[in-house]
Amino acid sequence: MRKDSRMTRRQLLRIAGGVGVSAAGVAALAACGEAEPQIVTKEVPVEKIVVKEVPVETVVTKTEIKEVPVQTVVTQTEIKEVPVERIVTQEKVVTKEVPVERVVTREVVKEVVKEVPAMREKVKVRWQEVWADAFQPTIEEKMIPGFEAQFPYIEIVNERIEEAQMYEIYLTQIAGGDPPDVIQIQESRVPQFAVRGGIIPLDAFIGKAGLNLSEIFYAGEWPKGSWLGVQYALPLDNTGAWYLFWWNKDTFEEVGLDPDTPPTTWTELEEMALKTTVREGGEITRHGMFVPEMIKGARTDASFKGWQFPAGGHMFTEDAKQVLFDDAIGLRNVTWQLDMVEKLNDGWDNIQGYMDAVGASRTAFYNDLLTMRVEGVWFLGVMRRDAPDINAGVTHMPYDDTNPNAKPRSISDDGWSYGMPKGAQNLEEGWEWLRYLTADQGNLDFMGNLKRPSSVPKFNEDPLYQTEPLWNDLKSVLPLVEASPITPVNPDIDQLLKDEMELMMAGKQSPEETLASMAGQTRELLDEFFDSL
């Protein structure tokens, strides 16, 4: 006989009763468990000693200065200088010092304090970054423990992601509603995220923490993390100096140049590059310099921007709405680069092979196949790792001495920073970690380990760096860096600059056509974007 497997009504009621009792038990147990710790905010009276200081009184007497120019009378035979009426005036500055009145009072004020319960449950802050590979020990043994000692209720979860996929990952996480709390982001991409609400404004946190960004960071660094006056990210490193000039001192000595005197102008650069070039059997066996090769990889966009500033030019107006490079300086920049390729390297074909993704130009520099090159601050650490014995020097980019307004300066329109993505769960805790990574000890730990300049000037004075012989030379270039405006269409502009410069180098278009095309396309992108706002 087949056993009937159907459930009787009594069995059903028994099971339902059992489930009900179990659920009630679970609920009761849960109620007996540890309650969620709360942050208690309360006002407590605090007695404070207030010291008032009356400032030094300064009295300045100003006198107007008038100058009458030299008058020159030209006759047919001679030039006569008529005596000039010279009014010499003096500016008298009288500084009157008044003794400082020091008033010490005791006041009872009410201060809002946050009480964190001792048993507070830890908040996990998810931190995604792309650099940790070689620096995992520093992160795990120094940075995270250092931070967690200060903030015992925060646990940092380090999630390393691939740089090549970082934006795919960020966007997918944000769209999926599961972003991390703190992300590493390139400053060239900050406005792109900001204009779409993909990254959280930091102004409220910065204000609450009382941070004065211009006092903490280099002037060329912190503005890159902002968009339309709102700060969205704080800088990690000083990548402002994307364009530093490196030379091989041994090769300089070999050809009779002073190893400690690098070229400071474009004329000197050409002379020294020709002097260090070696030709054998009609072929160049050692190049002096690849002028359009910068950074690593086929970044001809970088070569345009990189030489534009020492040429005495600019890229955009301060509000980023107008193109400024479409002028005589821009034309001089592209024409000079093309001329140098012909004069120093016998054509683009001899350079192109070194402009690859694997860093052949670096290898050439290490192996005395290339004497001078341009790369950013990071090259110091890379060079020490790859070729520790190389006797190299570093200085600012040579400037165009045919332009009286040109001077040693460098553009900064990218770099690494940290921000908090849209949908981040732990904003307060995430901010504390972000601040630690950028403006606090975490930044020194990380950047010092890399032997790479920090975005915080005072950290660059740390003894951690002083073992590096080139450190002071490198550090001296950092103040020459100027931030250039970044817009949400920056990545598209970089791409078109690269494409157009490459076409010119390959002989497909003239410098004039190149400049006109770059300027036209850039204007179109900027106009389209600003019109859409």
Partner 1 sequence: MRAPRWTIGRREAVWGFVFISPWVLGFLIFSLGPMVAIIAWGFTEYDILQAPKLAGLENYIEIFTEDEKFLKSLANTAIYVGLLVPCQVVIGFLLAVLVNTKLPMAALFRAFYFLPTIMPLVVASIVWAWVLQPELGLLKFLLEDTMGIPTPRFMVDEYWSKPGIVILTVWSSIGVQMILFLAALQAVPPHLYEAAEIDGAGPLRKLIHVTIPLVSPTIFLVIIIGIINSFQVFTTAFVLTQGGPLDSTLFYVLYLWRKAFVSFEFGYASALATILFIIIMFLTALSFWVSRRLVHYEQPES
By CB under 8 A, name the binding residues for partner 1: 164, 167-168, 171, 174-175, 192-193, 196-198, 297-298, 349, 352-358, 360, 363-364, 422, 491-492, 495, 499, 502-503, 506, 508
**Interatomic CA distance for residues 442 and 455, integer angstroms:** 12
Instruction: Determine phi and psi for 294, rounding to 5 degrees.
Output: -140, 150
CA distance readout (Å), 20 to 24, 27, 29: 6, 11, 14
Q: What is the Cα gyration radius of the chain? A: 31
| Minimum separation from the CB atom of position 466 to partner 1 (A) | 35
Shorter beta-carbon distance to partner 1: residue 53 or 133: 133
CA distance readout (Å), 120 to 54, 144, 155, 158: 45, 19, 12, 21
CA distance readout (Å), 47 to 102, 482, 506: 19, 46, 74
Shorter beta-carbon distance to partner 1: residue 24 or 175: 175
**Per-residue tokens: 383:** 């060079």
Shorter beta-carbon distance to partner 1: residue 155 or 499: 499
Shorter beta-carbon distance to partner 1: residue 2 or 9: 2
Shorter beta-carbon distance to partner 1: residue 144 or 273: 273
**Interatomic CA distance for residues 320 and 522, integer angstroms:** 11
CA-nearest of 50, 51, 52, 48 to 108 is 48
CA distance readout (Å), 143 to 137, 155, 161, 465: 9, 12, 18, 17
**Interatomic CA distance for residues 349 and 287, integer angstroms:** 13
Shorter beta-carbon distance to partner 1: residue 297 or 408: 297
Shorter beta-carbon distance to partner 1: residue 173 or 238: 173
With contact defined as beta carbons under 8 Å apart, do 425 and 199 qualify? no
Shorter beta-carbon distance to partner 1: residue 117 or 197: 197
| Minimum separation from the CB atom of position 360 to partner 1 (A) | 5
| Minimum separation from the CB atom of position 362 to partner 1 (A) | 11
DSSP 454-473: BSSGGGGGSGGGTT-TTHHH
List, in order, residues 6 or more apart from 434 with CB less than 8 Å away: 182, 202, 234, 418, 419, 420
Shorter beta-carbon distance to partner 1: residue 413 or 502: 502
Shorter beta-carbon distance to partner 1: residue 300 or 455: 300
| Minimum separation from the CB atom of position 488 to partner 1 (A) | 8
Shorter beta-carbon distance to partner 1: residue 116 or 360: 360
| Minimum separation from the CB atom of position 31 to partner 1 (A) | 38
Angle in degrees, CA 213, 217, 211, rounded to 5: 30
| Minimum separation from the CB atom of position 368 to partner 1 (A) | 13
| Minimum separation from the CB atom of position 311 to partner 1 (A) | 25
| Minimum separation from the CB atom of position 47 to partner 1 (A) | 50
Q: Which amino acid is at 241?
A: A
Q: Which amino acid is at 192?
A: Q
| Minimum separation from the CB atom of position 367 to partner 1 (A) | 8
* Helix (H), strand (E) at residue 170: helix 166-176
**Per-residue tokens: 445:** 């730990």
| Minimum separation from the CB atom of position 167 to partner 1 (A) | 5
**Interatomic CA distance for residues 515 and 510, integer angstroms:** 9
| Minimum separation from the CB atom of position 370 to partner 1 (A) | 10
| Minimum separation from the CB atom of position 389 to partner 1 (A) | 19
CA-nearest of 287, 244, 290, 245 to 263 is 245
- Give the count of beta carbons closer than 10 Å to the beta carbon of residue 326: 17
**Interatomic CA distance for residues 474 and 262, integer angstroms:** 14
Shorter beta-carbon distance to partner 1: residue 365 or 379: 365
| Minimum separation from the CB atom of position 226 to partner 1 (A) | 18
* Helix (H), strand (E) at residue 438: helix 427-438
With contact defined as beta carbons under 8 Å apart, do 230 and 223 qualify? no
With contact defined as beta carbons under 8 Å apart, do 296 and 469 qualify? no
Q: Which amino acid is at 226?
A: S
Cα torsion 344, 350, 354, 360: sign: negative
**What are the residues facing 199 on neighbouring strands?**
421
Shorter beta-carbon distance to partner 1: residue 146 or 359: 359
